[in-house]
């Protein structure tokens, strides 16, 4: 007897309610550990985008949301944090099931960070300078002057599949904290957790403030970016798609934030404490099977300790547990899709072809009971040169490139010889040397004797082609507000309006 179980179906979330696609069509979402469909999701159309944007626009134009006093808004942000905490088990499960991220990481980091993010935003808005009074200047004359920070309007948030909940939250939290409204387009591999998040948040905010439309990037994403009623685009994804978004947004001169790819350099100095630096290096590159934008994918090692480091890294890698991401004992899960698996394996082949030396991994991994899953062995290449394809392009898989160096200046030159500038790191016992290297690496975040330490109160974003703008921290509130200067004259007599005399001599005489 075979039992057919209907897959759970998730609809778009528009104007405070679940809403099927205008065509009624759906697409399947898969568990990357098994390759099996686990949910069915509404397949967005241009009509669906228009409905979502109209709802967001109406919610923004209606008085009450965008001009809510900060103290009241802070209460709502705390309520959102509570609502997420209440539903965290469901969110962790959906996120892990569809993104392949381990429950260990999502429960131990992401969900806590998301709850903390909304709480931090609640605190930030209470002291954020929504209105600043300027001092009375000698020039151009006596007046009261304010600078107001106002919301931008309808924000399109377009997000990738690697950390769907966290990255969506990095956009939703500051957007709502400053009175904007949002239309979120999650990645097609991972829309389910974002759809549930929107429902959970919408129990606390007015209808239309947060909307989600699922569907293809080329159709739904591009329609949002080009939409005349969308005022801002906050995009996280590949540098290639980011370039296209900049061009698409140009026609309507949209405010954009871009969080893009990386090829982050990790520099080991001779005096580093290897007992912490080597596990830290693996943590920096193999967490989430290397599918994190700020992973430390290029490791620069002094030639004098090169062989020791390679030997210890290979041994440590063998201790990593690969398998079902839903199992709490597993540290490394699958990559997101068959296509991503093939892309990563092609990169590994190109490393071999260009003469890099495999010291561990290098092929797909077969996990017992999960033979159809998309697993790849954590892979380390030695003798990589910085001009090889594996050292230049973002692989987005569990592949570490180890590059030897003789002098630190040489390591820094290679570290910066990349189009990317998202993150960087240095391992040393000498704090002065650490700061010197930190100053010289061209990247938006530098970790000293650590990796992946993002904080909700610190800015995150890229130098060079890793992006434009910053998320997280108070700085992210700046990205969702625009400045308005308001001038009130304190001069009632026409004769004392010196500036008017620039046009009319009569103004002075009439006094
Ligand atoms: P991607 O660029 O393929 O897609 C990202 C999002 O853009 C998806 O929702 C996709 O549907 C949408 N999209 C695709 N084409 C589009 C178009 N023409 N117009 C509008 N939207 C479109 O990225 P991905 O494969 O989902 O994620 C991996 C990439 O994301 C990596 O490059 C990684 O470095 C980057 N990333 C960056 C950060 C960061 O904070 N800098 C964080 C995570 C991931």
Determine whether the shortest distance from the Cβ of 189 to ligand 1 is under 6 A. no
β-bridge mates for residue 322, sequence order: 332
What's the rounded Cα separation, in Å, for the pair 115 and 509? 65
Q: If DSSP codes are grouped into helix, strand and coil, which group holds residue 137?
A: coil
What's the rounded Cα separation, in Å, for the pair 243 and 254? 14
Nearest to 280 by CA among 453, 27, 433, 68: 453
Mean pLDDT of 469-485: 96
121-171 pLDDT, tens digit each? 999 999 999 999 999 877 888 899 999 999 999 999 999 999 999 999 999
Nearest to 169 by CA among 146, 151, 193: 193
Determine whether the shortest distance from the Cβ of 158 to ligand 1 is under 6 A. yes
Q: Is the omega angle on the peptide bond into residue 412 within 30 degrees of 0, that is, cis?
A: no
Domain 46-260+465-484 -> CATH class = alpha beta
Find the 5 Cα to ligand 1 centroid distance in Å.
32
pLDDT for residue 1:
58
Break the chain into its structural domains and give their ranges: 46-260+465-484, 265-456
381-390 pLDDT, tens digit each? 999 999 999 9
Mean pLDDT of 450-463: 97
Find the 229 Cα to ligand 1 centroid distance in Å.
22
Taking the CA of residue 394 as reference, the ligand 1 atom at the shortest distance is 32
pLDDT band of residue 418 (cuts 50, 70, 90) is very high
Are 335 and 342 in contact, with CB atoms under 8 Å apart? no
Residue 4 or 237, more confident = 237
259 is catalytic: yes
Mean pLDDT of 257-272: 98
- Pocket test of ligand 1: the residue of 218, 241, 261, 443 to mutate, having most ligand atoms within 8 Å of its CB, is 241
Cα angle 189, 192, 194 (rounded to 5 degrees) comes to 100
Estimate to the nearest angstrom the gap between the alpha carbon of 121 and the chain centroid.
17
Mean pLDDT of 190-216: 98
Global pTM reads: 0.97
CATH superfamily of 265-456: Aldehyde Dehydrogenase; Chain A, domain 2 (3.40.309.10)
Length of the chain: 511
Determine whether the shortest distance from the Cβ of 394 to ligand 1 is under 6 A. yes
Indicate which residue of 155, 293, 360, 401 is catalytic. 293
Nearest to 281 by CA among 313, 307, 305: 313
What's the rounded Cα separation, in Å, for the pair 297 and 182? 33
The kind and range of the H/E element at 432 are: helix 431-440
**pLDDT for 509 beyond 60:** no
Helix axes 111-127, 164-177, angle to 10 degrees: 10
pLDDT for residue 85:
98
Find the 325 Cα to ligand 1 centroid distance in Å.
22
In DSSP notation, 368-379 reads TT-TTS--B--E
Indicate which residue of 222, 259, 394, 471 is catalytic. 259
**pLDDT for 243 beyond 60:** yes
Are 93 and 145 in contact, with CB atoms under 8 Å apart? no
pLDDT for residue 147:
98
């Amino acid at each position: 007897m075979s039992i057919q179980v209907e897959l759970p179906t998730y609809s778009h979330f528009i104007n405070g309610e679940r809403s099927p696609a205008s065509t009624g069509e759906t697409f399947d979402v898969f568990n990357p550990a098994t390759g099996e469909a686990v949910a069915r999701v509404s397949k967005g159309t241009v009509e669906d985008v228009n409905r979502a944007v109209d709802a967001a626009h109406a919610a923004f134009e209606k008085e009450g949301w965008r001009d809510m006093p900060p103290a009241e808004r802070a209460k709502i942000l705390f309520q959102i944090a509570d609502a997420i905490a209440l539903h965290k088990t469901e969110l962790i499960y959906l996120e892990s099931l569809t993104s392949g991220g381990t429950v260990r990481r999502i429960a131990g980091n992401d969900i806590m960070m998301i709850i903390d993010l909304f709480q931090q935003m609640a605190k930030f808005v209470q002291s954020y300078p929504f209105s600043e009074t300027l001092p009375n200047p000698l020039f151009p004359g006596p007046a009261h002057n304010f600078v107001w920070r106002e919301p931008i309007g309808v924000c399109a948030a377009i997000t990738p599949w690697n950390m769907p909940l966290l990255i969506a939250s990095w956009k939703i939290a500051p957007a709502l904290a400053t009175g904007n409204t949002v239309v979120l387009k999650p990645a097609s591999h991972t829309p389910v957790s974002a759809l549930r998040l929107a429902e959970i948040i919408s129990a606390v905010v007015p209808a239309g403030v947060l909307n989600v439309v699922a569907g293809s990037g080329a159709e739904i994403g591009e329609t949002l970016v080009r939409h005349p009623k969308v005022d801002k685009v906050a995009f996280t994804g590949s540098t290639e798609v980011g370039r296209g978004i900049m061009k698409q947004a140009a026609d309507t001169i949209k405010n954009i934030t871009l969080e893009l790819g990386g090829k982050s350099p990790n520099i080991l100095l001779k005096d580093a404490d290897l007992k912490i630096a080597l596990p830290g290096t693996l943590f920096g590159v193999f967490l989430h099977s290397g599918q994190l934008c700020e992973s430390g994918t290029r490791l620069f090692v002094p030639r004098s300790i090169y062989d020791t480091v390679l030997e210890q890294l290979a041994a440590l890698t063998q201790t990593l547990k690969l398998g079902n991401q839903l199992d709490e004992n597993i540290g490394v899960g699958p990559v997101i899709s068959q296509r991503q698996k093939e892309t990563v394996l092609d990169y590994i082949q190109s490393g071999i072809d260009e003469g890099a030396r495999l010291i561990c991994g290098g092929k797909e991994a077969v996990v017992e009971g999960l033979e159809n899953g998309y697993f790849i062995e954590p892979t380390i290449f030695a003798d990589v040169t910085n001009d090889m394809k594996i050292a230049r392009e973002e692989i987005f898989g569990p592949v570490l490139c180890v590059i030897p160096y003789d002098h630190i200046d040489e390591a820094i030159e290679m570290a910066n010889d990349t189009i990317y500038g998202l993150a960087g790191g240095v391992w040393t016992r000498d704090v002065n040397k650490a700061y010197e290297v930190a100053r010289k690496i061209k990247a938006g975040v530098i970790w000293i004797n650590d990796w992946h330490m993002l904080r909700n109160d610190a800015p995150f974003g890229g130098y060079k082609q890793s992006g434009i703008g910053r998320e997280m921290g108070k700085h992210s509130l700046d990205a969702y507000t625009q400045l308005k200067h308001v001038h009130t004259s304190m001069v009632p007599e026409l004769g004392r309006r010196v500036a008017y005399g620039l046009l009319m001599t009569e103004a002075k005489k009439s006094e």
